Structure 1
Amino acid sequence: MNGSLLLRDARLLDPVTGEYTEGDLRCADGRIVEIGTGLTADDARTEELRGAFVLPGLVDAHVHVTASTADLGSLPASSPSYVTAHSARTMSRMLDRGFTTVRDASGADYGLADAQAEGLFRGPRLLFCGRALSQTGGHGDSRTRGANTSEDHPCCAGLGRVADGVDAVRAAARDELRKGAHHIKVMASGGVASPTDRIDSTQYSGEELRAIVEEAEAANRYVAAHAYTARAVNRALELGVRSIEHGNLIDDLSVELFLRHDAYLVPTLVTYWALKEEGREHGLPESSWRKVDEVLGAGMAALERAARGGVKLVYGSDLLGGMHRHQNHEFRLRGEVQSALEVIRSATSTAADLLNLTGEIGTLAPGAHADLVVVDRDPLEDVGVLAEPEKFRYVVQGGTVVSA
């Protein structure tokens, strides 16, 4: 996008300091050019904001844009073109909710990322990992007990790929990196939506996990690990995993390890709320629905423990199928534990740090991508403002108003 835009009389939020600057903001060629007072730009679209609040475009660091249903095991049997059509619609709606960058936590590939970047469909910037790596019978293995053939052929839709043994996981990680993965996703514990594992299991040996981390680090990338229990989380952190997804059952040692290893936690509270409320009507199998309670209540306590301990927290939603529409409700859930500024940071500046895009997104500083959200009420007074995207005044991407 080559948007030129001038926002006048705005309150511009710096998420790092938590302070507003009153004045104008000018964008050109898709970037923020300057902040000041009395700015002019003859060729720019000009909007008089009259004191409205401007935030950096929001970041959701745990999405599954290809998850057109909560029955993840059915995806490999779906037509890839059908899943792509669903993904384009899902991403378009994410943009309307203010999310201008998303990190896909398995399922999306370079094709979707390239198509969005080329403007073939509207949606947030997409950082992908390709397929998540899973051991046989792990959280990324969607086969039921009676299925004996592999369903993770690369031509099929799906979220995971099965690889067992150090040599195999090295090859799988290298293959995803070959295809342009921004990070490697690994299943390091059991999960809700998988048919044959226990949530409290640890998955992959230490040697396998370390090999995956080595491959990511060799390519100047990092590993994100699905993990629930303290045992699984702590093990992953000690082996060099940079980003823990979910972490509902962490303990005090987990907090120490996050700080020691400069790692990030990406809670996804809204997905458990949504799965419990309406997961079955969106395709979640009964056996998976019964597993939700094991992590639902613990998520808020884990968030509180991590926030109190100073862990770097990043916004994530992890919603599936028709439940994607609840993406912004995570702001309300986190607001029950964290301050509004802390929640906003998790979806802006801290998220940018995790994604290795510091200074590029999550900030209103000159030089950053001109991705913005404009709201009429102060989100520092009530972060619930960000849970109501239908009331946003504008969403701006690349200096172009894309939703108003």
Structure 2
Amino acid sequence: MGPAQVVGATVIDGSGRDPSNVVITVENGRITQLGASSAHGERLDAEGLTMTPGLIDAHVHLGLSSPIQPHFSFRISAAEIAADIFATAGATLDAGFTTVRDTGGIDGGVVTAIAKGKVRGPRVLSCGPVQCQIGGHGYYGAAWEPTGLWSSHQSTATLMAAREVALVPTFAVVERLLHDTAGAGLAESIRDRAKGVREQMTRALAVAKHAGVRIGLGSDLIGPAQDRRGGELSLRAALETPMEALVAATRTNAGILGLSGQVGVITPGAQADLVLWNATRSKTRNFSPTPPTPSS
């Protein structure tokens, strides 16, 4: 792919620095230059729009895109499950998320189908199947899991910071359960548990931040209504600042996923995962011909 220049956009580069108006030059899937360039090629006018790096969701479940109860009781065909997964993948890309980490629920075939361009979707890093203790979280919503015991935030945060363990809060799924438990395919009794979880998550975020824990961003949405993925940034912006929420969803998440410097930032050498925003919608532009490789 020849060089292309994006001009006129207000650029928020993922570093936390103030926005700037700078020309972005892209060639062969990578950002090659910031600032005026003499390179010839396509010129994209982004006047009046805001550019960010492609957003990253570090906790998704693309494989749980069908109604939960029919899915887990084997009342949906594999073809319908696949159709729901691919629909969610496309909607995720349209929402400005160009990279996601699937923390359980899909196989390698989904990752490969998206990577080959057979269906639209973000870059997917798959963690494989869910691993959980019998009766614990992930064991089909065990009723007795005691949220009241989730109170030792300080000692946990201190240990996480010392061991360089990252935290990825997921407020969006809890917000969904508080307002539409049935829509998520779960029993109404889950709502009361979600209230306790929400309070503890808010406290845990503040404690982790104070302890110096690296804090990313995820959604953990399940079921067919995963169209509020971007709401995680709004929820986090209410607890921190909008810039801190955006950095968590870009540069910080890239580091957590082992993709530092490759995605999540607008800088020379990075993959050209770029999103243009106006007041009502996003336009994702991916100039990248090959996916980045996570580092260990």
TM-score by length of 2: 0.88
- The residue correspondences of 1:175-186 to structure 2 (distance < 5 A) are none
SS at match of 1:321: coil
SS at match of 1:252: helix
Residue matched to 1:318? 220
- Residues 330-355 of structure 1 show CA distances to partners (whole Å, capped at 9, x for unaligned) of 11111112122211111011101000
RMSD over equivalenced CA pairs, Å: 2.4
Match of 1:391 among 260, 263, 281: 281
Structure 2 CA distance for aligned equivalents of residues 73 and 137 of structure 1 = 21
Aligned residues: 288
Q: Contact (CA 8 Å) 1:9, 1:50: kept in 2 or not?
A: yes
Q: Contact (CA 8 Å) 1:70, 1:279: kept in 2 or not?
A: no
Residue matched to 1:27? 26
Q: Whose strand proportion is higher, 1 or 2? A: 1
Report whether the alignment pairs 1:86 with 2:84. Answer: yes
* Partner AA of 1:136 in structure 2: I
* Partner AA of 1:27 in structure 2: V
Residue matched to 2:237? 335
Residue matched to 2:98? 100
Report whether the alignment pairs 1:7 with 2:26. Answer: no
Match of 1:351 among 234, 253, 265: 253
SS at match of 1:286: coil
Structure 1 CA distance for aligned equivalents of residues 201 and 70 of structure 2 = 25
Structure 2 CA distance for aligned equivalents of residues 70 and 311 of structure 1 = 35
TM-score by length of 1: 0.66
Structure 2 CA distance for aligned equivalents of residues 73 and 79 of structure 1 = 10
CA shift for structure 1 position 290: 4.1
Structure number with the bigger relative contact order (C-alpha 8 A, sep ≥ 6) is 2
Residue matched to 2:292? none
Residue matched to 1:295? 197
* Cα distance, 1:127–1:319 mapped onto 2, change above 3 Å: same
Structure 2 CA distance for aligned equivalents of residues 343 and 55 of structure 1 = 13
* Partner AA of 1:57 in structure 2: G
Match of 1:284 among 182, 186, 201: 186
Residue matched to 2:15? 16
- The residue correspondences of 1:29-44 to structure 2 (distance < 5 A) are 29-42=28-41, 44=42
- The residue correspondences of 1:247-286 to structure 2 (distance < 5 A) are 249=151, 251-286=153-188
- Residues 84-133 of structure 1 show CA distances to partners (whole Å, capped at 9, x for unaligned) of 11010001001111000001110022111111110011111001112011
- Residues 276-329 of structure 1 show CA distances to partners (whole Å, capped at 9, x for unaligned) of 211213311234344322312222222222223332111111111233111111
Percent identity of paired positions between Structure 1 and Structure 2: 30
Of stretches 352-361 and 18-27 in structure 1, the one that deviates more from structure 2 is 18-27
Report whether the alignment pairs 1:195 with 2:194. Answer: no
* Cα distance, 1:87–1:372 mapped onto 2, change above 3 Å: same
SS at match of 1:134: coil
Report whether the alignment pairs 1:47 with 2:48. Answer: no
* Partner AA of 2:22 in structure 1: G
SS at match of 1:319: coil
CA shift for structure 1 position 37: 0.7
